Amino acid sequence: MSLLEVRELSRHFGGLAAVNNLSFIVDEGEIHGLIGPNGAGKTTTFNVISGFYKPTAGEILFGGRRISGLRPSRIAARGVVRTFQATTLFQELSVFENVLIGCHMQSQVGPFGALLGTSRRAERASEVRAAEILEFMGLGDRRDDETVNLPHGHQRALGIAVAIAAEPKLILLDEPFTGMNPEETRQMMVLVERVRSQGVTILLVEHDMQAVMGLCDRITVLSFGELLAQGTPIEIRSDPAVIEAYLGTV
């Protein structure tokens, strides 16, 4: 069953078509890879899906409802949450405090909640949930560390933990393996699978082909903003057009 549908999507910047007439489907419960050479339009596609850019043409459906053109906050409220290539964390805060902020954004307790004591109950519930998320992501023993002192791999894991705090149905992971050594990559692959096991669908932009081929159920390949190929990892690995345009140069 499809969760996300991208239909004939285009995004132009002046005379440049960063994405051109792109269509693909992400099924519920899968890990779906979005790959291609630098400048292929992957991050622009993420930015349109998550509401940071409005499409020039086409539409995006999530759970059968149109989300293209909505504000990022409204798209996130429907269950589409993204991470970024550059880790966007509060470096001066603790690991626990970063995840707690994500939980607070989800709880959205207003002033009447404060008067009725709801906010105190929500605060306690957020603290419990933040602790559970950190344990789930293997960061429980780092909860009191300042984020700035975390190793690169742990910072990436924390970014996903903050995204999980928003209780997403779909996470858009933007190059989560960038800059990792082989051991960090292996650990992150385990974490991504663990997130999927909780019923979260994942759309993944990544250049690390070991991670992509090892994780993804299906892959969509872009080239110059257009669809080049779609299929399983085995099909993509053996596709002559993909090999010529991308895999053969890695």
DSSP 11: E
Residues 6+ apart with CB under 8 A from 118: 109, 112
Q: What is the pLDDT of residue 86?
A: 56
- Asked if 166 contacts 106 with a C-beta cutoff of 8 angstroms, the reply is yes
pTM: 0.89
DSSP 218: E
Bridge-based pairing of strands 226-231 and 16-27 is unpaired
Residue among 22, 33, 94 at smallest CA distance from 60? 22
Tens digit of each residue's pLDDT (9 = 90 or more) over 153-190: 899 999 999 999 989 999 999 999 988 999 999 999 99
Domains of the chain: 1-79+168-250 (3.40.50.300), 88-167 (no CATH)
Look at 5 and 250; give whichever has higher pLDDT: 5
Neighbours of 138 (CB within 10 A): 15
Task: Give the largest CA-CA distance in the chain.
Answer: 64
